[in-house]
């Protein structure tokens, strides 16, 4: 294959078996949960273009957006067993495979984007990435979702008291669930492909995601209130199947890492741009946006959870991230 081909297949119902049958030795399947115009899509496009350039067309990427290869957990499992080649995923389900990633999901751990990027692009982030090969997958680079915010269909949320009793969909992530339980929220873990219908039918009252995801997933159609809690910084990961990675030469591994870094950079730029523009979009779409969230009250209410996190991850490891670069 001498020319670059990047094909986007957006149909939600596209079968995994069909996807497997279309792949060639040098054409890789990359799955992700959002649409092709999302920050995940921008990351995928940038990685595909860079990999084709570096390999002179030897390696090409076929994109499967919008959960075409399954939910994030299913895609990571697919990478682990070799039925999916590449995945862009949130850290949400990855903790089930590489528990060390869960430390990044502690609420209010990162002060801003610069702090998060410095940690993840430095030795701490690399130490986490180094844990992946032991689990049959290789994490090529960090990407980004952004700071997560709370939406719901019941009431405006400014304080922890306002959030009590709400049934909120969370990722399949014990760190997130512990935080919401501590706040008196009823966390309901659920795969992302099921979420819109669950919100529409009232199975859950709300959910939490970065602004860009909320816009891309059209949650304003089924949610009335957005609270800018920015309670968790949510990174993303670009993962490659261990079976693919082990078959690459050292030179090819360098291509893939460089391409993944280009994808991560594009993802960050798009996620932050979407966050900046998305609030106005959601207001235009009819959502009530609560901007004066009492962040200090949320942090104080989470103190019991922080004690549990210190036992789980080690206070020194948490402080190392909190104080990095200061």
Taking only the tens place, the pLDDT of each residue in 284-320 is 999 999 999 999 999 999 999 999 999 999 999 999 9
First-last CA distance in the chain: 49
- Is residue 9 one of the residues assigned to a domain? no
| Tokens, residue 19 | 């996807």
Range of the domain at 197: 16-322
- Is residue 197 one of the residues assigned to a domain? yes
DSSP class of residue 93 equals T
What pLDDT, on a 0 to 100 scale, did the predictor assign at position 92? 87
**Pure H helices in the chain:** 16-22, 39-54, 72-81, 113-121, 123-129, 160-163, 174-182, 195-201, 211-216, 242-245, 250-284, 295-301, 303-313, 315-322
CA distance 119 to 103: 12
pLDDT tens per residue across span 204-234: 999 999 999 999 999 999 999 999 999 999 9
CA distance 308 to 302: 10
Element (H, E) at 31: strand 27-31
What pLDDT, on a 0 to 100 scale, did the predictor assign at position 7? 41
Residue given tokens 């460089």 in the structure block: 258
What pLDDT, on a 0 to 100 scale, did the predictor assign at position 188? 97
| Tokens, residue 223 | 């949610």
Element (H, E) at 88: strand 86-90
Number of domains in the chain: 1
CB 41 within 8 A of CB 72: no
| Tokens, residue 313 | 């991850």
What pLDDT, on a 0 to 100 scale, did the predictor assign at position 23? 43
- Is residue 122 one of the residues assigned to a domain? yes
- Burial per residue of 116-146, b for 16 or more beta-carbon CB atoms within 10 angstroms, e otherwise: bbbbbeeebbeebbeebeebbbbbbbbbbbb
Q: From first to last of its 326 residues, what are the pLDDT tens digits of the chain? A: 433 333 443 333 334 433 443 344 589 999 999 999 999 999 999 999 999 999 999 999 999 999 999 999 999 999 999 999 999 999 989 999 999 999 999 999 999 999 999 999 999 999 999 999 999 999 999 999 999 999 999 999 999 999 999 999 998 899 999 999 999 999 999 999 999 999 999 999 999 999 999 999 999 999 999 999 999 999 999 999 999 999 999 999 999 999 999 999 999 999 999 999 999 999 999 999 999 999 999 999 999 999 999 999 999 999 999 999 87
Which CATH number covers residue 303? 3.40.190.170
What pLDDT, on a 0 to 100 scale, did the predictor assign at position 25? 52
60 forms beta bridges with: 27
- Is residue 8 one of the residues assigned to a domain? no
Give SS3 for 191: coil
Q: What is the pTM of this model?
A: 0.89
What pLDDT, on a 0 to 100 scale, did the predictor assign at position 24? 47
- Is residue 10 one of the residues assigned to a domain? no
- Is residue 183 one of the residues assigned to a domain? yes
DSSP string, 39-66: HHHHHHHHHHHHHHHHTTTSSEEEEE-T
- Is residue 244 one of the residues assigned to a domain? yes
- Is residue 225 one of the residues assigned to a domain? yes
| Tokens, residue 295 | 């962040």
88 forms beta bridges with: 238
């Amino acid at each position: 294959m001498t020319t670059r081909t990047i094909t986007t297949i957006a149909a939600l119902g596209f079968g995994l078996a069909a996807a497997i049958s279309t792949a060639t030795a040098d054409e890789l399947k990359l799955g992700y949960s959002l649409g092709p115009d999302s920050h995940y899509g921008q990351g995928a496009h940038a990685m595909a273009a860079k990999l084709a350039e570096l390999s002179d067309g030897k390696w090409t990427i076929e994109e499967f957006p919008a959960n075409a290869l399954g939910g994030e957990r299913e895609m990571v499992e697919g990478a682990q067993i070799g039925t999916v080649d590449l995945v862009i995923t949130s850290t949400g389900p990855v903790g089930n495979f590489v528990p060390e990633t869960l430390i990044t999901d502690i609420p209010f751990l990162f002060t801003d984007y610069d702090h998060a990027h410095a940690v993840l692009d430095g030795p701490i982030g690399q130490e986490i990435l180094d844990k992946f090969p032991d689990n049959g997958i290789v994490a090529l680079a960090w990407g980004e979702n952004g700071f997560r915010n709370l939406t719901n269909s019941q009431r405006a949320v400014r304080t922890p008291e306002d959030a009590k009793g709400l049934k909120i969909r969370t990722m399949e992530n014990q760190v997130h669930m512990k935080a919401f339980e501590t706040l008196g929220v009823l966390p309901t873990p659920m795969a992302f492909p099921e979420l819109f219908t669950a919100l529409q039918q009232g199975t859950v009252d709300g959910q939490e995601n970065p602004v860009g995801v909320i816009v891309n997933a059209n949650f304003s159609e089924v949610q009335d209130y957005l609270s800018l809690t920015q309670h968790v910084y949510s990174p993303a990961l670009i993962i490659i199947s261990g079976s693919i990675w082990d078959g690459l030469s050292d030179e090819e591994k360098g291509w893939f890492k460089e391409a993944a870094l280009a994808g991560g950079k594009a993802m960050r730029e798009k996620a932050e741009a979407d966050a900046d523009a998305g609030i106005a979009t959601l207001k235009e779409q009819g959502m009530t946006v609560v901007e004066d969230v009492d962040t200090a009250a949320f942090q104080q209410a989470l103190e019991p959870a922080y004690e549990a996190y210190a036992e789980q991850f080690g206070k020194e490891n948490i402080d190392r991230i909190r104080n990095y670069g200061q």
